[in-house]
Structure 1
């Protein structure tokens, strides 16, 4: 039936026309799927393939990373960044990154950076470091997005890092007139298994290499500096640059080489971002000379993931004064435990007398050994594993900032700081790790929970230190939290604690973990 302005039912065409009642799988089989359906199915399949590739890359190229900052300073002089997935940041910013060359197959992109206002020519200050930390990501991502097609190689990625430092210097000097201070910087960019580093000033960036194995023994880890300690005018080209621009070099205290500007200020800093009184016309101050550059030292390293190359360490200027061989020993002692490692290194630097008013910041990133089984496992099996319950035993030390600063075992209030709680547990963890190295588990079959009974050292430390009622349990139940479902882990202890627990195999000790209850170390026993 039709009428004046109506349309006939014969002229109406449904998207299901001609296929009524035919299943979608049958249409695919017959090749009769409409184009828009087919395009959607192809897009869905491509998206699934890309997700699988990302999961495979992430499963094999993992890092565990953390940072600790200690010191009694009025302002936050050191800023740091930890970006575990730079691609997600680019996507949120609507920035398209290269997809070929070094970036093909969506190679994981990770960034660790530190900007230190103590590595400056004008004296310590917080503003340049804060500005750099806020603006590094957009500047670096824009530089990477501008790499010409066909040139996605190490040379151009290094150039992107160098250009980012140049952009940061211009940002401080030209767009932020209120900023008078300066800062040093250390940046590590991981593109798949390629490491790109850039260091400017007295900050330090160190690559930790495994010691050479000699039969059953292994040499200590070796620390390789990525910045050559720029902070003492030790680079010949810096001295030449200085003299060519009207400056002069003279000896200072402890053998340091110094220079001075027309205002009569002296400095031993060779390179920094900002510091307008030392940047000539760029700094906008009449009569100033350009005596300091912001050019970073850039390097490129092919990583032997978690085999030859063990970890990365980024430190502020005061920490860089600690011998790197000491730091490498600490990193080896706290293998795959970045919170404990970075805290111990920063704490050691903070106890040096001349660092009494300094800010000691350390970032440690461990390369996690590859696990090809993770790639081979179907997604459903991996999800099932993640949903499994775990059984843990722990030691917890409370502090004044936790939700309940009260020790229920000794029935007393707690007044220690979180830093003090961490220091107590770092020592305990080190003792437990040393003890674990002397314990031989049953050979052959997978050890049962019975093989992980509380050791004498754990029993002693738990009774002495733990501020949880589980420390009062007897025998093999001391410190035992029982079986915990993933949801229960998250609700009781928080997502970070839950993630740390899932990463452990039975018998392994965790890194330091924080919850509302306090600071924990725990062992997975099943």
Structure 2
């Protein structure tokens, strides 16, 4: 794109502005802007559209204006905003991200089984726009919802697993923020591959970092996997491997395998797991089925616990980790109604304590001996008994097995937490994860497995 110096006519206009303003107050200059806006090139420039506030005329680029703080260009003729690519020095059109929230919502969770001295990790970022803002990055050009789900395998080299889990999104988000135009599929795959490779080099890892990651931006899911990890999408029951709704990305030894999928309402969820689960002998169809059974009921963590339990039974050796994601689609153009729009809900819960949880002050009960994983497995077996039995079944099971203080309440109030406020700080006796999970539920719905400092919970919203 070639640009010339201002022509003589524009130079005369600028001279007129300076000459006219000599000896006049700001008020008269304001009047002049109203009467002769073409002299100022802002509100109604010649043969152009009004510029947004904060833009200044570029003398070296006739017809263009520039906002210094936002590093944006405005073309008067088209009324469009542009950015400059630092790599090529070319201008490209600024893209404003679209919001798919009226048709698509997502929720993900994960579970892990540790081995002695080894613990695989997971990272779930449900709102990348908020994460980018915390890093002072502009993310407005990316679609919503925006989320990242990842698992990191510690089986081959546990030393770098923690650093990788903390570092990948720190590598990825600046790359996604740097280009503010419309992202094509290959550019998304490239950014994810570059972030993984740069992280590998930064950690000095020669053999690669075994991981699987799924990046959701609006209606697209970009997947990457290395070191035998896998990221797969699942659709309806009965669909076979190779079906368009059952995509699968399996990682090679070190270089990332990537794929960008445009999601449709037949895509119901995604599963990420590691080589140890795959090598147990479970087929891709079986892994999908185990995850799907719970994830479709909005219980992705229970789906992961179920998958890891069966993988161990089949011979998969810890450390293991899995993450599951639920895609919820709303038909039509109307926004999906929230499960609750109130500031208070009423719930009951079941609680199983474990060795790592905290006991309330003054609690004289015998300390638990089960691990957190064992508590989750026990809850997984309880879940089918109460999932569809309503408040009566929930209350009966609470009196039978729950280790919470409220289990001893009389009548049908066993496990009753009372009314919870949406402001977590106002519920002093109820752990924050329990409150947050409660507000995701519809009346009569049983929650996913919820972990807090008190132990593992199941929650029933009653009002």
TM-score normalised by length of structure 2: 0.68
The residue correspondences of 1:37-436 to structure 2 (distance < 5 A) are 57-58=100-101, 60-76=103-119, 78-97=120-139, 99=141, 103=142, 106-118=143-155, 124-147=156-179, 149=181, 152-172=183-203, 176=204, 179=205, 182-211=208-237, 224-227=246-249, 229-230=250-251, 270-272=252-254, 294=255, 296-304=256-264, 307-321=265-279, 322-334=282-294, 335-353=297-315, 355=317, 358-370=318-330, 375=335, 385-387=341-343, 389-404=344-359, 412-433=366-387, 435-436=388-389
Q: How much does 1:56 deviate?
A: 6.1
CA contact (8 A) 1:493 1:516 kept: no
CA contact (8 A) 2:189 2:258 kept: yes
CA contact (8 A) 2:108 2:323 kept: yes
Q: How much does 1:478 deviate?
A: 3.3
**Cα distance in structure 1, aligned partners of 2:433 and 2:208:** 34
What residue in structure 2 maps to residue 467 of structure 1? 403
CA contact (8 A) 1:98 1:147 kept: no
Q: Which has the higher contact order (CA 8 A, sep 6+)?
A: 1
Q: Deviations over 1:368-411 (max 9, x none)?
A: 3438898488xxxx899331x32222221122222218998x95
What residue in structure 1 maps to residue 90 of structure 2? none
Q: Deviations over 1:252-305 (max 9, x none)?
A: xxxxxxxxxxxxxxxxxx522xxxxxxxxxxxxxxxxxxxxx2x221121112x
What residue in structure 1 maps to residue 432 of structure 2? 495
CA contact (8 A) 2:107 2:126 kept: no
**Cα distance in structure 1, aligned partners of 2:98 and 2:406:** 38
After superposition, the Cα gap between the structure-2 partners of 1:39 and 1:165, relative to the gap in structure 1 and judged at 3 Å, is closer
**Cα distance in structure 2, aligned partners of 1:411 and 1:94:** 48
Q: How much does 1:88 deviate?
A: 2.7
**Cα distance in structure 1, aligned partners of 2:271 and 2:402:** 31
After superposition, the Cα gap between the structure-2 partners of 1:349 and 1:482, relative to the gap in structure 1 and judged at 3 Å, is same
**Cα distance in structure 1, aligned partners of 2:340 and 2:380:** 33
**Cα distance in structure 2, aligned partners of 1:183 and 1:60:** 35
TM-score normalised by length of structure 1: 0.61
CA contact (8 A) 2:300 2:324 kept: yes
Aligned residues, how many? 368
After superposition, the Cα gap between the structure-2 partners of 1:55 and 1:498, relative to the gap in structure 1 and judged at 3 Å, is farther
**Cα distance in structure 2, aligned partners of 1:384 and 1:183:** 41
**Cα distance in structure 1, aligned partners of 2:411 and 2:147:** 45
After superposition, the Cα gap between the structure-2 partners of 1:391 and 1:141, relative to the gap in structure 1 and judged at 3 Å, is closer
Higher helix residue share: 1
After superposition, the Cα gap between the structure-2 partners of 1:187 and 1:56, relative to the gap in structure 1 and judged at 3 Å, is closer
After superposition, the Cα gap between the structure-2 partners of 1:399 and 1:354, relative to the gap in structure 1 and judged at 3 Å, is closer
* Backbone CA RMSD of aligned residues: 3.8
**Cα distance in structure 1, aligned partners of 2:178 and 2:408:** 61
